[in-house]
């Protein structure tokens, strides 16, 4: 039995730092480091949730290339079940070049690759049957799976009495509203504040959440970056802002939102209440940005609890 199965995008992240401006055409600009890491919402979540002590599987797609082999090796090293990862001979593995500024903020150049070809028929439903929670993440970057296929799959999960969670990526083009098809089958919806504003067309967190409830979502959790997160458990519940944990130094914000979702679902798998899940998720997100890469900063469950206790003591 898997505590969480993550379904969605896998990305090889090429991280370049620092990049404060692009060099002129034909010119070279020196940087301090160029590194290869695993990335992508689903892959990052699967590795992080495993590190936090829960049994995790990943379902996604890569190409039969060096990047794909690298990503599968990362899963195997992290003890994530990788048998649900399809290898497609006809496409390349998805790759992002993350350009990290000196202040830690990042911009991306992204090739959708295999994620764009990911299809509902690629999903091993035996893994889903053996899972308690199913986390679909990376919507808007899976051209084939986005929209009706996502809704169809999540309905199947609900029919099997699974807890479902859903997160999205920034939509560089197309319809933001297509995610509404999946919300009736979503127990926990976890967009960022920027994504939530674009999807809902609203300006306030409460109005954003109400819009998602109107379209069928269960609990709404909106990631608010350095301010923490907003959580509303149901349409009739009062929304709450849960403050972020302070960090000593930001090394890299790549994967911070995915780390937040990882922390939330890891805590949820342990039976924590939704407010506790949000507090723990904020702590995991804080830890993640103190090291470079999407997964390197995430600590064990026990280490994260100690981080929370130490930060709470410092803030008194």
Query: SS3 string of the chain?
Result: CEEEEEEECCEEEEEEECCCCCCCCCCCCCCCEEEEEEECHHHHHHHHHHHCCCCEEEEEEEECCHHHHHHHHHHHHCCCEEEEEEEECCCCCCEEEEEECCCCCEEEEEECCHHHHCCHHHCCHHHHHCEEEEEEEEECCCCCCCCHHHHHHHHHHHHCCCEEEEEECCCCCCCHHHHHHCHHHCCEECCEHHHHHHHHCCCCHHHHHHHHHHCCCCEEEEECHHHCEEEECCCCCCCEEECCCCCCCCCCCCCHHHHHHHHHHHHHHCCCCHHHHHHHHHHHHHHHCCCCCCCCCCCCHHHHHHHHHHHHHHCC
Picking from 235, 20, 15, 2, the residue whose alpha carbon sits closest to that of residue 127 is 2
Averaged confidence pLDDT in the chain = 93
The pLDDT value recorded for residue 315 is 45
The pLDDT value recorded for residue 104 is 73
Residue indicated by tokens 């994260």: 304
Picking from 108, 92, 154, 76, the residue whose alpha carbon sits closest to that of residue 257 is 108
Q: Say yes or no to pLDDT of 172 above 60.
A: yes
* Res. 252 pLDDT band, cuts 50 70 90: low
Among 93-102, 132-141, 189-198, 248-257, the range scoring the smallest mean pLDDT is: 248-257
Share of the chain above pLDDT 70, in %: 97
* Res. 178 pLDDT band, cuts 50 70 90: very high
Residue 276 CA, chain-centre distance (Å), reads 19
67-73 average pLDDT score:
97
* Res. 250 pLDDT band, cuts 50 70 90: confident
Q: Say yes or no to pLDDT of 40 above 50.
A: yes
Q: Say yes or no to pLDDT of 316 above 60.
A: no
89-117 average pLDDT score:
90
Q: Say yes or no to pLDDT of 230 above 50.
A: yes
The pLDDT value recorded for residue 293 is 65
Domain-wise residue ranges, the chain: 2-21+31-314
Q: Hey, which of 96-100, 209-213, 299-303 has the most confident mean pLDDT? A: 209-213
The pLDDT value recorded for residue 13 is 87
* Res. 103 pLDDT band, cuts 50 70 90: confident
* Cα torsion 253, 259, 261, 264: sign: negative
Kindly state the tokens that stand for 262: 């990882």
Q: Say yes or no to pLDDT of 187 above 50.
A: yes
- Kindly give the pairing relationship between strand 11-17 and strand 33-39: antiparallel
Whether domain 2-21+31-314 has CATH 3.30.70.930: the reply is no
């Amino acid at each position: 039995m898997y505590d969480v199965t993550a379904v969605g995008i896998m990305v090889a992240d090429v991280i370049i730092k620092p990049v404060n401006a692009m060099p002129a055409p034909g010119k070279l600009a020196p940087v301090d480091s160029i590194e290869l890491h695993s990335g992508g919402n689903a892959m990052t979540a699967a590795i992080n949730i495993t590190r936090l002590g829960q049994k995790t599987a990943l379902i996604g797609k890569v190409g039969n290339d060096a990047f794909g082999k690298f990503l599968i090796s990362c899963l195997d090293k992290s003890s994530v079940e990788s048998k649900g990862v399809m290898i497609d001979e006809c496409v390349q593995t998805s790759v992002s070049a993350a350009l990290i500024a000196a202040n830690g903020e990042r911009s991306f150049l992204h090739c959708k690759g295999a994620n764009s070809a990911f299809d509902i028929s690629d999903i091993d439903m035996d893994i889903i049957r053996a899972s308690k929670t199913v986390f679909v993440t990376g919507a808007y970057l899976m051209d084939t799976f986005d929209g009706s296929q996502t809704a169809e799959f999540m309905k199947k999960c609900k029919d099997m009495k699974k807890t479902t969670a859903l997160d999205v990526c920034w939509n560089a083009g197309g319809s933001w509203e297509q995610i509404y098809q999946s919300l009736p089958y979503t127990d926990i919806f976890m967009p960022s504040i920027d994504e939530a504003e674009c999807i809902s067309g609203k300006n306030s967190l409460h109005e954003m959440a109400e819009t998602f409830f109107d379209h069928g979502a269960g609990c709404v959790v909106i990631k608010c970056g350095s301010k923490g997160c907003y959580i509303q458990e149901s349409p009739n519940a009062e929304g709450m802002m849960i403050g972020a944990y302070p960090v000593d130094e930001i090394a890299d914000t790549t994967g911070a939102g995915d780390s937040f979702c990882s922390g939330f679902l890891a805590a949820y798998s342990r039976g924590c209440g939704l407010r506790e899940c949000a507090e723990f998720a904020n702590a995991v997100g804080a830890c993640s940005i103190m090291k470079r890469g999407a997964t390197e900063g995430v600590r064990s469950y026990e280490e994260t609890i100690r981080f929370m206790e130490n930060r709470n003591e410092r803030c008194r």
